């Protein structure tokens, strides 16, 4: 929020109070978790096509749990498939899939100088994928770049995947924090309607502000209800081996909110407040210097500042401003109280650059350097 806090949302507080007073047991829920949670959430994620017998959903411990469960299912059913991921991506993506035993393959995603998505080059790189390979896509609000596909790009991706038999694996961790709950998933819904097989890993941890409660879900879509039944049997067995049953509290909060029209409305309103604030901070930062201009069009919590690690070190040492070496910042950390000071510290560094700096190889590459060193 604008005071630099990560508050508990109003609807979450209300749902928690209700749970405390009304809950009568802590008995196990079962490996699928809170089934009503997954059903209600599916309406938010998939809209009019929420009830699809070709899709099975299961509650997971956060978006990370959903990614790992999907990875384990792939290891079981398609161990030779390779998962392709654009550079840069969330640094945890490669470890999650590699630790499950899958081969990961980086591909070009953005232009290092402009920071824009280069779809044609990306599809050119993906031409090396074999049928059955997996393509990891961020559903919206890309972490770390804030970039997003146009609807046209989603359509192209859909026909590309169909033509080559590639399976999209969508990581949707920020629905509603870009342009709106519906707007943020319009492209993903187009893609899902066009392809037979797909994975969707979802996190409620940002859009419900539930971070430490670890709330997520995995949906797997196949070409037929019969295959989906098979997936269901296997996925539940894999989940049993990973965590047996997911934690209850966070998913129960989301279920209570989505089941109650007044709480759901208040959640949507508070999410809109967070989104509006984020986008206002983006506009203010972008207006400070021409090389920051793309930040206005980017969406979600993150963007990468076009600065080098020395500048990052100077901002830390001289100004007490902290960010990771890649220059990635969390836009939510900015507010009217600190924006001017941030600009005063940053702008002299940007003045040295006549144009945008190219992102360094460190930013564009993965896996994490520490893992490389360890191996
Ligand atoms: N995917 C992306 C792109 C993320 O940024 C994150 C969290 N930083 C996750 C997945 C995982 O979310 P969770 O905290 O719910 O595990």
The pLDDT assigned to 149 comes to 98
Nearest atom of ligand 1 to the alpha carbon of 66: 16
63 within ligand 1 shell (Cβ under 6 A)? yes
246 within ligand 1 shell (Cβ under 6 A)? no
The pLDDT assigned to 364 comes to 62
Tell whether the model's pLDDT for residue 79 goes beyond 70.
Answer: yes
| Span 312-317, average pLDDT | 96
203 within ligand 1 shell (Cβ under 6 A)? yes
* Residue 101 near residue 68, CB atoms below 8 Å: no
- Per-chain mean pLDDT for the chain: 94
Handedness of CA 85, 91, 93, 95 (dihedral sign): positive
CA of 71 to the centre of ligand 1 (A): 15
Nearest atom of ligand 1 to the alpha carbon of 143: 3
The answer to whether residue 116 is catalytic is: no
Query: Which alpha helices (DSSP H) does the chain contain, by range?
Result: 10-22, 35-46, 62-77, 93-99, 119-126, 151-164, 186-194, 225-242, 249-259, 261-286, 309-319, 339-351, 361-364, 369-374
The owner of tokens 């809170």 is: 34
Residues 6 or more apart whose Cβ sits within 8 Å of residue 74: 81, 83, 100, 102, 134
The pLDDT assigned to 351 comes to 76
At residue 141, the 3 state secondary structure works out as coil
Nearest atom of ligand 1 to the alpha carbon of 214: 15
- Phi, then psi, of 227 in degrees rounded to 5: -65, -35
The answer to whether residue 217 is catalytic is: no
Tell whether the model's pLDDT for residue 88 goes beyond 90.
Answer: yes
| Span 307-316, average pLDDT | 93
The answer to whether residue 90 is catalytic is: yes
64 within ligand 1 shell (Cβ under 6 A)? yes
The owner of tokens 């070409």 is: 223
Among 52-56, 268-272, 290-294, the minimum mean pLDDT is found in 290-294
Q: d(Cα 44, Cα 221) in Å, to the nearest integer?
A: 17
The answer to whether residue 154 is catalytic is: no
């Amino acid at each position: 929020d604008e005071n630099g806090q990560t508050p508990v949302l109003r609807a979450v507080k209300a749902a928690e109070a209700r749970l405390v007073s009304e809950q009568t047991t802590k008995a196990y829920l079962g490996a699928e978790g809170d089934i009503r949670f997954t059903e209600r959430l599916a309406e938010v994620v998939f809209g009019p096509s929420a009830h699809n017998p070709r899709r099975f959903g299961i509650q997971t411990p956060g978006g990370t749990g959903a990614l790992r469960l999907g990875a384990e299912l792939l290891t079981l059913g398609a161990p030779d498939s390779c998962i392709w991921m654009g550079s840069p991506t969330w640094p945890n993506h490669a470890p999650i899939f590699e630790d499950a035993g899958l081969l990961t393959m980086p591909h070009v995603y953005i232009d290092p100088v402009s920071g824009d998505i280069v779809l044609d080059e990306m599809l050119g790189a993906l031409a090396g994928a074999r049928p059955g390979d997996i393509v990891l896509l961020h559903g919206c609000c890309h972490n770390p770049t804030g970039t997003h596909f146009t609807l046209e790009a989603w359509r192209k991706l859909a026909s590309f995947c169909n033509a080559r038999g590639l399976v999209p694996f969508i990581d949707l961790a920020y629905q509603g924090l870009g342009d709106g709950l519906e707007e943020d998933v319009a492209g993903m819904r187009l893609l899902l309607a066009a392809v037979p097989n797909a994975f969707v890993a979802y996190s409620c941890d940002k859009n419900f502000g539930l971070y430490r409660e670890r709330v997520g879900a995995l949906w797997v879509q196949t070409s037929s209800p019969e295959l989906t039944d098979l997936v269901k049997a296997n996925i539940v067995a894999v989940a049993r081996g990973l965590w047996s049953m997911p934690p209850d509290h966070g998913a129960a909060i989301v279920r209570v909110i989505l089941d109650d029209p007044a709480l759901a409305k208040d959640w949507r309103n508070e999410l809109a407040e967070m989104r509006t604030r984020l986008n206002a901070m983006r506009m203010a930062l972008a207006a400070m210097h021409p090389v920051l201009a793309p930040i206005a069009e980017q969406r979600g919590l993150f963007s990468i500042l076009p600065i080098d690690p020395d500048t990052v070190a100077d901002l830390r040492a001289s100004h007490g401003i902290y960010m990771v070496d890649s220059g990635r910042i969390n836009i939510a950390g900015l507010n009217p109280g600190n924006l001017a000071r941030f600009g005063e510290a940053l702008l002299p560094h940007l003045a040295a650059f006549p144009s945008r700096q190219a992102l360094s190889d460190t930013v564009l590459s993965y896996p994490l350097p520490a893992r490389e060193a360890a191996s």
